[in-house]
Amino acid sequence: MSKLEVDTIEPEGASTTLTLGASGDTVDVPSGATLDVTGATVTGLSAGKVLQVVQTFKNDTWSTSDTDAFMDITGFEADITPSSTSNKILFTASCQFGAANVCLFRLMRDSTEIAPATSDAGYNSAFQSYPADSASGILASFSYLDSPSSTSALTYKLQVKNRGSGYSTYLNRSSGDSSDSGYGFRGASSIILMEIEG
């Protein structure tokens, strides 16, 4: 076994590619050593690694206006910028909802619905929840592995829709919003985004 001791190795001539070893070889970084790739682009590593994590946490209450259209939840979205078009975004949300009737939800990337249902006329493409009564809340969880094919800043969020005009949907509280010490509650909700290497 031979040993080469140098401070810097650079490609020869006009080449910008430095090759270490041949196909099938193993390049070993000893235990305790640090491999610094700050500012470099590293490719060819195994897919599936988590590259970044973003969280939005919301523990104040919110309610819809009197409408039957899908709408954003104020202050409940998360932004992420993928580092490669081949990477995926794992979108997860855990939310506490209340409603006086049926409430519908859909997952959004900017203005695009993700994880849509089959498009059939007359149906909402949505997840549905229905609290048991005005004192109840629903802990709703959503997850989807998105392939945005983008390196631009992206906004992920939930949109909610009421049963119809005259109904409301609530975040982090029940529709009755009781302060009874036996069953009244206030909740908290979160969105977590993970960039997964493609």
Residue 71, pLDDT score: 94
Q: Which residues pair with 23 in a beta bridge?
A: none
> What is the sign of the dihedral through the CA atoms of 35, 38, 44 and 45?
positive
The structural architecture, per CATH, of the domain 50-196 is: Sandwich (2.60)
- For the entire predicted model, the pTM comes to 0.77
> What is the full per-residue pLDDT of the chain (198 aa) written as tens digits?
777 777 778 787 777 777 777 776 777 777 667 767 666 666 666 678 999 999 999 999 999 987 889 999 999 999 999 999 999 999 999 999 998 888 899 999 999 999 999 878 888 899 888 888 888 888 999 999 999 999 999 999 999 998 888 889 999 999 999 999 998 899 999 999 999 998
Residue 37, pLDDT score: 65
Residue 96, pLDDT score: 92
Q: Which two tokens stand for residue 95?
A: 């939310």
Residue 41, pLDDT score: 61
Residue boundaries of the structural domains of the chain: 50-196
* CA distance linking residue 95 with residue 57, whole number of Å: 10
